[in-house]
Amino acid sequence: MAGHAFSHRRRAIVNTDAKNEADDQFAIAHALLAPRLDIRGLVAAHFGNRRTRSSMEESRAEIDLLVRLMELGGTGRVEDGAPYALPVVVSPAPSPGEEAMRDVSEPLYVAFLGPLTDMASALPWSRASPSGT
């Protein structure tokens, strides 16, 4: 990537509905162990409300369990994402986003392994009024 001053490791966040299907645990473990990634955080995502009313909390518990089993307690932050789908596009869910707002030259990569609710909440247009102003 000529013209960019990248460090060896890439800053990344993994947003995952870890309790929904077994593939997310493999992706999380791979990301945490990948030498080229600097995982700055894991975000627990909801996976709808058909099976449970606490899907985000269940994903958070699964992430916490995986990090504990891997003995990687000091690896980045684990944060809660939105607990449910957005009721309307202009109603973003609150989310901690300090890493995304850091003023650094390197890009932040974000892998979404579940719903895009947290991405939609982070986009500036989701904060506009219903009339678009």
Give the pLDDT band (50/70/90) at residue 99.
low
The mean-pLDDT minimum among 45-49, 66-70, 83-87 falls in 83-87
Model's pTM, two decimal places? 0.81
In percent, the amount of the chain with pLDDT more than 70 equals: 77
Residue 115 scores a pLDDT above 70? yes
Own/partner pairs, 53-61, CB within 8 angstroms, 24+ separation: 54/83, 55/17, 55/19, 55/20, 55/83, 56/80, 56/81, 56/82, 56/83, 56/84, 57/83, 58/19, 59/16, 59/17, 59/18, 59/19, 59/20, 59/114, 61/19
In percent, the amount of the chain with pLDDT more than 90 equals: 53
Average pLDDT, the chain: 83
Better-scored residue on pLDDT, 28 or 93: 28
